[in-house]
Amino acid sequence: MDYRDPFAFPHEWLTTVDRSLVETLRRWADKEILAKRAEHQEDPATLLHPALHSLFDELGLACLLWPEAEGGSGLRTSDLAMTMAAALEQVGRADAGLAMALADSLVMQASVGVEPHRDESRLQLLIKIWRQSAQPALAALMLPALAQGEQATCDDLFGLAPPAVLRSAGDGWRLRGEQCRPTGVGSAAGAFGVTALVESDRRIAFVLISAAAEGVVRHEPFRQTGLEVWPNARVSFRDVVVPEASLAFFGARRLRELLAWRNLACAAVVCGGLLNAQEILQDWGETRVIKGKGQIFKNNPLTASLMGEVGGEIAAARTLTYSLARLVSRPDLYGDAGDATIFTAAVNTARQVCRQAMTALNRSMELMASAGYATEWNLERIWRDTKTIEAGLGPSTAAQAQLARHFFASQTT
Amino acid sequence: MRTIDDFTRPREYLSPLDKHLGKIVRDWADREVLPFRRQYDEDWREHRLIEPAFGKLMAGLGLQRLLFPEEYGGMGMGHSGYLGVGAYRIMEEVARADSAMAVAFAVLFWPLLMICNEPHVNRRLCAEFAPRFCRDDKAVFAANAMTEPQGGADIENLDVLKGATIRTTARVDGDQWVINGHKLWPTNSAGVADLFGVVATTEPGSTDPRDFAFIFVPADAPGVSQGNAYRKAGMAADKNSDIWFDNVRVPLWYRACGPGDDLKYFKEVISFGNMGSIAFAGGVLLNVFEIARDFAARTRYRGKPLHENDDVAAVLADLAAEAEVTRVLGYQYARMIDRPDLYGARWSDEVVAKGRAFKYLVCDRTVAALEKVMNVMGAFGVERAQDIEKHWRDVKMVQLWMGGKQLCQMETARWFYECETL
């Protein structure tokens, strides 16, 4: 890691291959995204849509878990967690929307592609869905959320409501759910990973569904604060036939494992945004003077103190994220990610990292004043994207209750 | 059901027009803005949706006449004794609907304060400019051209720099000013304003208060050019751009108050800017209260309405507490502006510093309160359809403008601690 990286983090856990990937992605981000960002200010999609293809297909990041015979990298162990964190951080530095598109794709694949749960038939199903889709391997996850209206809530889903219901229909399974809100890219995803409650026994299920399946209705895209390059859209599942191979897993433990991976992915993307924010603020701090006295901005005691706070938050966020990647990548040492301890660590880390990131970004914007909110400087975009990622972690109350349940045996009602 | 009118308004301070003004502006907001504001972000460049709403507020309701003396067709609020509290109420109501509209509307009055407000009414300039604004067929805007590329907030850092860093020059040539310079960021630029109040220097590098000049320049004067609107995180209804003044000529009597007094009364403009910013944050808090109240009642968590969860209720309480405190602080500062006999001149260092303190405290806390509410809402919190994320983006910008937080802190520290080197 010999690029100008001022933040110490436990990089000893990265393999040689990981480091090489990081270097490649860093160069790719500099050349393909950051150097061209200004000229695509008006319409970032013209830059990022082709970049997605290059990232997913040419660099092969969407195929890390695919068998080598299918053109993938053949990864199959939880070591993927470290690789994924390092890669998402670099992609997140380039663009959080791009990185979250990759993150949700990898998380969905990891749910059926990482040992001891690796299931070749289900992985093949995903590969087949994506190969039939016009888009690269974009995936949208439907996770538990606050209930709207009289929708039932479930203790195993942290007091939240399942977006869909799965029922046995004699010849197989049917999925029903109206206006399910994906984590992102709902308007473009080729595959959906849907959390559902089994109607008969109230078990939790996670179902892989092709966007092209009969009964899948994609609604109009809606606007949100950030991550808008692939707009989100709600999706309804109207008695969609669910083949056996589409049932990724049953049970709360496996869902916790999936969420732990997603929390890690979110934290890594947020760290990437912070790395770019640090570069933006550094540029600002070195090229501005204050008080008309020729004092370089970064050398004023007050601004230096605030910049110190920003740097400290970034450093801590990054260390936490790589520590979580280590926890998830070594179930032999720490237990699997569905275990309450690791899951809680994941929930906590993602929340902490987002909080630290928002502090760092708010301070950076305050330092840069109007340049902080002008799109030209890109800081506001990172700020909006990060808030959107934080919101996507779910309601804070459910997370806090989970932490209290784990740390203090609280039984919140 | 509790409403935004349940938050305390210091009744002793209110203007006689408070109820009337509050009602007509709230009716306007509910009818002309709230149904359309989700589309405002995409309207940032053209203002096809935003402009008609401004027309109904400013021309239709006649509010663009507020400041001018009655003899010039205005409503005479500049000498009413309740300009502060009256303006606070209006700005709060407009900001409840859209704080960017509140900013653009308020900034119409910013340069006009220099000539319409007692004790420094400039009757000749009032007579000159009133016909532009005292009309009911279209909204007409004004703008303050202050910030420059090289100095950022330096222009507003008057105590320390006294205008020494201003590079926009005003040179006398016969009976005219010749103005040259480049300004950034004025609200109501990019072709919106008809009239600019330009901050310039008659002697570059000078710290003599008499060299600080505030000169009116019609936007259509030869030599004035404007760039395209900047794209920002929010505040679509507030257009900002570069403005260039290239040998622009205006009559000598277009200077607002004269040598020494321009700088003195420009500080009053800062006080009103701080009061407006508090009102904008206050309006945002009130609308977020309404949105959060409704969301928490109709959304369920663990089988119960969201607001019945103690943890959520605590966050909602924090929001209500911020709204309550902001309104009290805002009216208190407006009162200070209205009663110089009790609190000192509006342009005094004390009143300016206290406005800075209130402004940054309120804005910081508003941003934090909104972030907490968004976190409680989970993914719904960042959806445009919930109307909170827009307020969050907008109020962040209120927090950052007028020199940003650090300038507010330094002016506060200077006055309260009598610092010598800041």
pLDDT for B297 equals 95
Between chains, do B400 and A376 touch, taking CB under 8 Å as contact?
A: no
Which chain B residue has the Cα nearest residue A380? B233
Q: How confident is the model at residue B123 (pLDDT cuts 50, 70, 90)?
A: very high
| Chain B CB contacts of A396 below 8 Å | 372, 375-376, 378
Q: What is the pLDDT of residues A198-255, one digit of tens each?
A: 999 999 999 999 999 999 999 999 999 999 889 999 999 999 999 999 999 999 999 9
Residues in A touching B409 (Cβ below 8 Å): 302
Taking the CA of residue A273 and the nearest CA in chain B, the distance in Å comes to: 16
Q: What is the mean pLDDT of residues B187-212?
A: 96
Q: Pick B232's closest partner by Cβ from A225, A303, A375.
A: A375
Phi, psi of A174 (to 5 degrees): -130, 145
- pLDDT one-digit tens code per residue, A267-303: 999 999 999 999 999 999 998 887 666 789 899 999 9
What pLDDT is attached to residue A1? 42
Q: How far is A291 from chain B (nearest CA, A)?
A: 6
Q: What is the dihedral of CA A367, A369, A374, A380, to 10 degrees?
A: 40
Please report residues of A whose CB lies closer than 8 A to that of B375.
390-391, 395-396
Q: Are A386 and A358 in contact (CB under 8 A)?
A: yes
Q: Is B174 exposed, middle or buried (0-12, 13-18, 19+ CB in 10 A)?
A: exposed
pLDDT score at A3: 58
Q: Looking at residue A150, what is its pLDDT?
A: 76
Q: Output the CA–CA distances (angstroms, integers) from residue A172 to A236, A241, A255, in the order listed.
A: 19, 7, 22
B400 with A380: Cβ contact below 8 A:
no
CB of A274 within 8 A of CB of A383? no
Q: What φ, ψ does residue A222 adopt, rounded to 5°?
A: -120, 160
Q: Cis peptide leading into A116, omega within 30 of 0?
A: yes
Cα dihedral A353, A356, A358, A359, rounded to 10, equals 180
Q: Mean per-residue pLDDT for A333-356?
A: 97
Distance from the Cα of B250 to chain A's closest Cα (Å) equals 29
- CA dist A318 and B355 (Å) reads 39
Q: Where are the beta strands (DSSP E) in A244-324?
A: 247-250, 289-290, 295-296
In a mutagenesis test of the A interface, which of B41, B43, B300 is the best target, namely the one with the most A β-carbons within 10 Å?
B300
| DSSP element (H, E) containing A193 | strand A191-198
State the Cα–Cα distance between residues B142 and B186, nearest whole angstrom.
Answer: 10
Question: Rounded mean pLDDT of B200-219?
Answer: 96
- For residue B248, the model assigns a pLDDT of 98
Q: What is the pLDDT of residues B130-170, one digit of tens each?
A: 999 999 999 999 999 999 987 766 777 777 778 888 999 99
Which of B189, B301, B410 to substitute to test the interface with A, most A CBs within 10 Å? B301
The answer, yes or no, to whether residue B362 has pLDDT greater than 80, is yes
pLDDT score for B149: 87
The partner residue sitting opposite B161, judged by closest CB among A222, A291, A394, is A291
Please state, as a whole number, how many other Cβ atoms lie within 10 Å of the Cβ of residue A413: 11
- Supply the DSSP symbol for A59: S
Considering chain A, what is the average pLDDT of its residues?
A: 94
Residue B295 Cα, gap to closest chain A Cα (Å)? 9
C-alpha distances in Å from residue B393, one per residue of B49, B95, B283, B382: 20, 13, 14, 10
Q: Could you give the 3-state DSSP secondary structure of residue A2?
A: coil
Instruction: For residue B36, give how far its alpha carbon lies from the nearest alpha carbon of chain A (Å).
Output: 14
Say if CB A193 and CB A208 are below 8 A apart. Answer: yes
Within B259-309, residue ranges assigned H as helices are: 261-298
Euclidean distance between CA atoms A162 and A148, whole angstroms: 11
The residues with which A164 forms a beta bridge, in sequence order, are: A196
Continuous H helices in A288-369? 301-329, 331-334, 340-368
Residue from the list B165, B300, B400 with its beta carbon closest to the beta carbon of A365: B400
Which pLDDT value is given to residue A293? 66
Q: What is the pLDDT of residue A291?
A: 66
Which of chain B's residues have a Cβ under 8 Å away from the Cβ of A234?
Answer: none
With contact defined as beta carbons under 8 Å apart, do A298 and A304 qualify?
A: yes
What are the chain A neighbours of B403 within 8 Å (beta carbons)? 369
Q: What is the pLDDT of residues B14-37, one digit of tens each?
A: 999 999 999 999 999 999 999 999
Nearest-by-CA chain A residue for B158? A291
Inter-chain residue contact B300 with A149, CB threshold 8 Å: yes
